[in-house]
Amino acid sequence: MVIATGFFDGVHLGHCRVLGQLVDEARARGEESMVITFWPHPRTVLQKDARSLRLLSSLQEKKDLIRSLGVDRVEVLDFSREFSSLTCEAYLGDVVMGRFGGTAVLLGYDNRIGSDCADSAQAAATARKLGLDVIVCDAVTDSSAAVSSTRIRTALAEGRVEDASAMLGYSYGLHGVVVAGNQLGRKLGFPTANMQLYEPLKQIPGNGVYLVKVHTLGSDHFGMCNVGVRPTVGGSGHRTVETNIFDFDEDIYGLDIRLEFLSKIRDERRFESLEALSEQLERDRIFAKSLL
């Protein structure tokens, strides 16, 4: 078994390179490939800045993305305080080798393993001492720096959804259920589907209006999504995700909806009247459709 280990949040292009090499190496050796990952995120257990933690993928999304790359097995370990106390040597020896029969471990350039936070070089030395073969994968970079989950979260928080998607290798999305809103959008001529996320810790793009691809009722549509606090109508300050689906008039309350963020149209702002808001929404719709 050739094994890669890590949280792999978002399964971005850097992760894809690691996992592609994992699959290739396993096939060359005539063995299976395996990813060992964890849930929940270590920061939620260790309380290290956990309040600000946001995820790029739910557990199911992460597993599906990893499997789509050809990985044979995905094992999810419960990240607990007891588990966090394992040293790098204990983790590689007892878990990677002992529990899962690993013969080789693939290490990314920024791997940190164990309670002793062993870096890639230290983990490689420990693995070799235990009898594990070691495969090292270099960083994937774009025009400015190494691709990382942190850089992608920052891009999303700033509304740069195209930059985030370029680093992910796919359009960033949110997945949830349609819940009832205040029906104001329908009164303005722009009915919206209000989303409640299945994974509450998912990173939501920064406040603004976006062109989105919408998956619901087994088909794909396009629409414009407002993320924000609805300042014109005196919102409560609670952020909402509401989407006007173009040329669509089905009742989808209580049903599944998935959004892919394609492009930012504008920032969210307050308008002097509902009429002014409605006029801007019409301009937004025309512009969004022109992008298609």
How many CB atoms sit inside 10 A of residue 152's CB?
25
Q: What pLDDT sits at residue 49? A: 74
Residue type, 270: R
pLDDT in the model for residue 143: 56
pTM: 0.91
The predicted pLDDT at position 110 comes to 78
Give me the pLDDT at residue 52, please: 86
At 89-136, the pLDDT tens digits run: 999 999 999 999 999 999 987 788 999 999 989 999 999 999 999 998
**pLDDT for 234:** 67
The ranges of the chain with pLDDT < 70 are 139-145, 183-185, 187, 234-236
Please tell me the predicted confidence (pLDDT) of residue 77.
Answer: 97
Residues 134, 162 contacting (CB under 8 angstroms): no
Greatest alpha-carbon pair distance for the chain in Å reads 71
Q: Which helix (H) or strand (E) holds 166?
A: helix 161-168
User: With contact defined as beta carbons under 8 Å apart, do 41 and 71 qualify?
Assistant: no
| Integer Cα distance of 102 and 69 in angstroms | 20
